[in-house]
A and B are shown apart, each in its own frame.
Chain A
Amino acid sequence: MPQIELINVSKDYKIRKRDKNRSWFAEFFCPKYTQKRAVDDISFSIDAGEMVGYIGSNGAGKSTTIKMLTGILAPTCGTVRVFDRDPCKNRTKNALSMGVVFGQRSQLLWDLPVRDTFDLFKTMYKIEEKVFRAQRDMLVDMLDMEDFLSQAVRQLSLGQRMRANLALCFLHKPKVVYLDEPTIGLDVLVKDKIRAFLKKINKEQGTTVLLTTHDTGDIEQIAERLILIDHGKLLYDGNQLGFKERYRDTEYTLEVTFAAPTAPIENPLFHLQTSEGNTHCYRLNHDKIITGEAITYAASNYSVADIRVRESGIEDILKKMYDRGETICETK
């Protein structure tokens, strides 16, 4: 039995339809509305202990999906089940077994030390004293929070606040955690700390994590499984490796540093992209010339000091997919 299940789920929003040819009088007294489909016939399921990256461009429908899973919004049609219950009808009950972090919002008591919000959550989530102490100490240790635990939240940095928010989210040992852009605006060190924490707690406590993010580093390091949506439609659902293999760009970049100033390589398969000093970047196609041949060609015909090859990462793939607005891929 999966922990999270969405079957043919859609969500429509009613939005104001403004017509520039209508008078302000007509707009004021007789406004027109239209339906906008934010999530369009999505189906997927997530088993206990999975770490899933839920990705898509801005306005793709990620946050709307999370809000349906947490019970904040009801789907227009389709079925949403979390712990085999309707999250909207069992919101309070489900809340005891789930945690949620909306990256741009804090759940901490602004004027009080972090410690006090921990105490409040202990009462709110009915956590036994012994369990509370053990879990709090473990989270403080894992997220390196000891230094600022007694400091007022208003005096904390963004990174410290985010770590505290994450700790709160895991305080009651939830079975499922929804993280909506948890690393937004954070520096690389804090991001690394958070990514390591998520991997560790998933391994140790078996918490299911559904993560939405625009940071492909989060996905590459945390999520084994990827779910990609765009314009409300599911584009891909499968593992990260499969995603890279299937949508790997046929093009790659060869960065050649010559020993002395040199004219661009004269070969129709080498497309010069940039040139800075003795370093040239060429775009090549795997189908026409494989990496080994390209390197050999450059090294044997020119005086080369260094050669680097750059393959497309998830970010490059996504960039192209968003650009082309592709509706591709078979799902898991």
Chain B
Amino acid sequence: MHSVRVFFRIVKFLFKAKIEYPAAYLGGIVSQWLANGITMLLIVLTVLNFGTLGGWLPMEVMFLHSVWLFTYAVGSSFAYNLSRLFRHMAVDGTMDEALTRPVPPFLYLVATTFNIGYVSHITLAVGALVFSMIQLGISWAAWQWLWFVVMIVCGGIITACMMLICEMPSLRTRSRSPVGVFFDSGRNFAQFPLVIYPRVLQIIFTTVLPFGFVGFYPSQVLLGKQDGLLPQVNMWLSPVVAVLIVGITALCWRILSRRYESAGT
């Protein structure tokens, strides 16, 4: 409980620090709206021209893309800055600082590197979600709303953990992780229905790089779709994958932080 209180306290001060420069903060939000909004518009317009994408209607694609953007923003808020910091941690003393605080070091690092700039992605994704849901005439029961929340939370967790696992080796190598590219490239595949890719890629994004569970599979429950690999099973597996990947992340952190060697002062 104490750790959670410290986490929110640190985030509160990060927000306070961010709004010390209101123009830069608001400017950043607007530019992200424009950049991501244009990408989303291009995708929807392209699908409108083709009619469907792998059997998915333009508004269904927009729904999926919004879920992808939403979960990416949630995960990145917690993990983006930290994943980029791994390679500098030993040199700039961030890790030493975390190890001398009366809270778990990982939590301290996540808190102090929390990125509140992703509010732009989240607001845009929510707007696009609402629009696509209205267009699709969606009317969900209570359990489906609950599943929607589970999908966003699990998607955020999977995204954050994938980002951290791919960049964590740089804690040891002290340079950009060579496997970081798997996250950067892999996550982009997940913004479209997996069914449009060859079977081998579908298998990869369901197993090794489980980006399919970020949006595609859990969205099938809400949109009543059943395509891709083993849809009846996979569409419910997001929470299981999230728990598994949290365990893998914790294990990687444990191994690498135990081998941590501080730099000279």
The 0/1 profile, CB within 8 Å of B marked 1, for residues 39-79 of chain A is: 00000000000000000000100010001001111000000
Alpha-carbon distance between A71 and B101 when the two chains are bound, in angstroms: 11
One of A73, A112, A120, A126 near B20 (C-beta < 8 A): A112
- Which residues in A have their C-beta under 8 angstroms from that of B96? 67, 72, 102, 105
- Least CB distance, A130 to chain B, in whole angstroms: 19
Interface residues of B in 60-86 (CB under 8 A from A): none
- Which residues in A have their C-beta under 8 angstroms from that of B198? none
- Least CB distance, A76 to chain B, in whole angstroms: 11
One of B92, B103, B262 near A72 (C-beta < 8 A): B262
- Which residues in A have their C-beta under 8 angstroms from that of B21? 111
A95 B262 Cβ-Cβ under 8 A: no
Given A67-B96, A102-B265, A123-B6: A95 and B101 interface contact (C-beta under 8 Å)? yes
- Least CB distance, B172 to chain A, in whole angstroms: 12
A124 B262 Cβ-Cβ under 8 A: no
A contacts with B: majority SS? mixed
B102 in contact (CB, < 8 A): yes
A92 B265 Cβ-Cβ under 8 A: no
- Least CB distance, B101 to chain A, in whole angstroms: 6
A91 in contact (CB, < 8 A): yes
- Least CB distance, B129 to chain A, in whole angstroms: 33
Q: Which of B20, B95, B103, B265 has the most CB of A within 10 A?
A: B265
B99 A91 Cβ-Cβ under 8 A: yes
B102 A104 Cβ-Cβ under 8 A: no
Given contacts A91-B99, A92-B103, A123-B9, 16 further A-B contacts (CB under 8 A): A59-B264, A70-B99, A70-B100, A71-B100, A91-B100, A95-B100, A102-B96, A103-B265, A104-B265, A105-B97, A109-B13, A111-B17, A112-B13, A120-B10, A123-B5, A126-B102
| B contact set with A: CB distance below 8 Å | 2, 5-6, 9-10, 13, 16-17, 20-21, 92-93, 95-97, 99-105, 261-262, 264-265
Q: Which 9 A-B pairs have the closest CB atoms?
A: A95-B102, A111-B17, A123-B9, A63-B265, A105-B93, A96-B102, A72-B99, A111-B20, A124-B6
